[in-house]
Amino acid sequence: MRIQTLGAALAALLVACGDTLPVRPNVLMISVDDMNDWVGALGYEPAQTPQIDRLAGLGTLFTNAHAPSPKCNPSRTAILSGLRPSTTGVYANGEWWKPNLPDVVMLPRYFKDNGYYAAGGGKVFHHTPGFNPPDSWDEYFELVDDLKTTGFLVPYRRPDNISSFDWGPLDKSSMEMGDGATVSWAEDFLARQHERPFFLAVGLFQPHLPFYAPRSIYDEVDPDEAPVPIDAPNDLDDVPEPGRRMAAFRLADLQAIQEHEDMDEVVRSYTACIRHADELVGRVLSALEESPYADNTIVVFWSDHGYHFGEKHHFTKNTLWERSSHVPLAIVAPGVTVPGSESSRAVSLLNLYPTLVDLCGLPVRQDLEGISLRPLLENPEMDWDRPAVMTFGRGNHAIRSERYRYIRYANGDEEFYDHTTDPGELTNLAADPGVASEISRHARWLPSVDAPGALLKRAFEFDAESYTWRRREPESP
Ligand SMILES: [Ca+2]
Ligand SMILES: [Ca+2]
């Protein structure tokens, strides 16, 4: 009897182990840089992004997903650390997270520490030297320079275009571009035999500026099919001063582009860059589908933030508005997501880290600030009251719920927009007493800490060879 009971218990344990310890899925994380929501799957009609649309159709597309910050380094640091900019103090591109956050275990490192083979290529972390720590990876393929990365050295397109910025076709094929090399590496990686589950991060640099695209793709974009967004006159009149200051970042570029009537060419080139990214996403996806890992790999696709082309009289990112924050996000999780499903709940890319930990059955991390999106992957229309929070600079935040956007700047100034009637965020309702209760409902989600800015890269002497750094003596006043 006792032996029978023991046997039954053992059998039950084995069944339980069988349930809870399946073969861990692989992860393929594809990211793009500065790609806004001009994606077919998100309803942008001029877009031709069949591959991104195909990827989204394999799982769950989030139609209301937002970046944690409207700039490369703060957004990527938040996504990969699972911690908000307001917690880490990484608010801008110069702040070097590694010496500032020595104990933070970044996403690829967490997978590596839990038995995964962590491989990355291209631009995953912000690509200033030293921002991509070698201890995060078993293998890394550095972004190959294709003139996009050194495009800042190209003579300015216009003499009065004061910043580093250019656009147009390059006489290179898709695979001769730096992103092509990254994708080639990823294709080889997926064709290889892997003994451990892998975490593979493929970081495309497109469509980041300079907006250089292979000529064959550029030539295919009909200049009339990519409309120039509307820069509504006087739109900033109801925006408080800190918001107008954010909008003025790269204002000289915007003015030069508009004065020379170049915006159609800028938009055309950016569109070509998106299509180039799309083609490469398709190659990686096909390589996965042809590999032995097709049925046991979670695929995640995201962009680090959005982009303005004159909307709210702004060019690039660097604002707390929808154009800077709204991004494509799709997750394909075999056995969890329903192909072709969509969720319009407001979600942040900050949720990616806990989501992947959850989907792969890794030990749960209590210290992360996002939460797993698994419930939404299983039921995309479930109630979800948690908004997406976005931060730019210390103390400036946007709270995006499914319907509204609330912005509060460090000095207390506010904006409030209703997306059901005003998707372009043209009318700031913050002073309207009718929305006061909604504003307080949103303000509850403001971060409770606003950490001081982390130390800048230039505060350290860095040796790339040994990956070591030393704090410089603070300059005397
Ligand atoms: Ca970026
Ligand atoms: Ca306005």
Q: How do residues 71-85 score in pLDDT, each as one tens digit?
A: 999 999 999 999 999
Residue range 323-338: mean pLDDT, rounded: 98
Residue range 272-298: mean pLDDT, rounded: 98
How far apart CA 374 and CA 386 sit, in angstroms, is: 14
* Widest CA span in the chain: 91
Report which bound ligand comes closest to the CA of 318.
1
* Phi and psi angles of residue 384, each rounded to the nearest 5 degrees, phi first: -150, 100
How far apart CA 307 and CA 328 sit, in angstroms, is: 12
The residue type found at 184 is S
What does the buried/exposed string (b/e) look like for 230-248 if buried means 16 or more CB atoms within 10 Å of the residue's CB? ebeeebbeebbebbeebbe
| 174 CA distance to ligand 1 middle (Å) | 20
How far apart CA 368 and CA 470 sit, in angstroms, is: 28
Asked if residue 112 has pLDDT above 70, the reply is yes
pLDDT band, residue 296 (cuts 50/70/90): very high
pLDDT at 161: 57
Which one-letter DSSP state was computed for residue 245? Answer: H
Asked if residue 17 has pLDDT above 60, the reply is no
| 165 CA distance to ligand 2 middle (Å) | 28
* Phi and psi angles of residue 142, each rounded to the nearest 5 degrees, phi first: -70, 145
How far apart CA 427 and CA 417 sit, in angstroms, is: 7
Catalytic annotation, pick one of 66, 72, 208, 273: 72
pLDDT, one tens digit per residue, over 384-429 is: 999 999 999 999 999 999 999 999 999 999 999 999 999 999 999 9
Mean pLDDT, the chain, whole residue set: 92
pLDDT band, residue 5 (cuts 50/70/90): very low
| 230 CA distance to ligand 2 middle (Å) | 13
| 304 CA distance to ligand 1 middle (Å) | 5
Asked if residue 298 has pLDDT above 70, the reply is yes
- 217: closest CA among 263, 157, 176? 176
Report which bound ligand comes closest to the CA of 312.
2
| 308 CA distance to ligand 2 middle (Å) | 15
Cα 457 to Cα 132, 208, 287, 391: the distances in Å are 13, 22, 37, 20
Q: Which domains does the chain have, with CATH numbers?
A: 23-389+447-471 (3.40.720.10)
CA 371, 53, 36, 110 torsion: positive or negative? positive
pLDDT, one tens digit per residue, over 23-66 is: 899 999 999 999 999 999 999 988 899 999 999 999 999 999 99
What does the buried/exposed string (b/e) look like for 36-59 if buried means 16 or more CB atoms within 10 Å of the residue's CB? bbbbbbbeeeebbbebbbbbbbbb
With 0-12 / 13-18 / 19 or more C-beta atoms within 10 angstroms meaning exposed / middle / buried, residue 23 is: exposed
| 30 CA distance to ligand 1 middle (Å) | 14
| 316 CA distance to ligand 1 middle (Å) | 10
SS3 253: helix
Report which bound ligand comes closest to the CA of 316.
1
Residue range 81-95: mean pLDDT, rounded: 97
Task: Calculate what percentage of the chain has a pLDDT beyond 90.
Answer: 83
CB atoms inside a 10 Å sphere around CB 419:
17
Clarify whether 360 is annotated catalytic: no
| 39 CA distance to ligand 1 middle (Å) | 17
Catalytic annotation, pick one of 126, 208, 314, 397: 126
pLDDT at 263: 93
pLDDT at 73: 98
pTM for this one?
0.94
Residue range 93-103: mean pLDDT, rounded: 95
Asked if residue 228 has pLDDT above 70, the reply is yes
CA atoms within 13 A on the CB side of 242: 18
Report which bound ligand comes closest to the CA of 236.
2
Give the pairing type, strands 198-203 and 117-122.
parallel
The residue type found at 104 is V
Of 9-13, 17-21, 144-148, 183-187, where does the model show the most confidence? 183-187
Asked if residue 163 has pLDDT above 80, the reply is no
pLDDT, one tens digit per residue, over 350-389 is: 999 999 999 999 999 999 999 999 999 999 999 999 999 9
Asked if residue 455 has pLDDT above 60, the reply is yes
| 350 CA distance to ligand 2 middle (Å) | 29
pLDDT at 162: 54
pLDDT at 164: 64
Report which bound ligand comes closest to the CA of 126.
1
- 75: closest CA among 38, 124, 130? 124
pLDDT at 226: 84
pLDDT at 260: 87
How far apart CA 364 and CA 354 sit, in angstroms, is: 8
Clarify whether 72 is annotated catalytic: yes
| 33 CA distance to ligand 1 middle (Å) | 4
How far apart CA 268 and CA 266 sit, in angstroms, is: 5
The residue type found at 146 is D
Residue range 81-105: mean pLDDT, rounded: 96
| 403 CA distance to ligand 2 middle (Å) | 18
Q: How many residues does the chain have?
A: 477
Report which bound ligand comes closest to the CA of 74.
1
Q: Which of 232-241, 251-260, 282-291, 315-324 has the lowest mean pLDDT?
A: 251-260
Q: Which two tokens stand for residue 133?
A: 């720590």
Place of tokens 């982390």: 454
Q: Which of 4-13, 248-257, 289-298 has the lowest mean pLDDT?
A: 4-13
pLDDT at 7: 41
pLDDT at 471: 95
pLDDT band, residue 12 (cuts 50/70/90): very low
CB atoms inside a 10 Å sphere around CB 346:
24
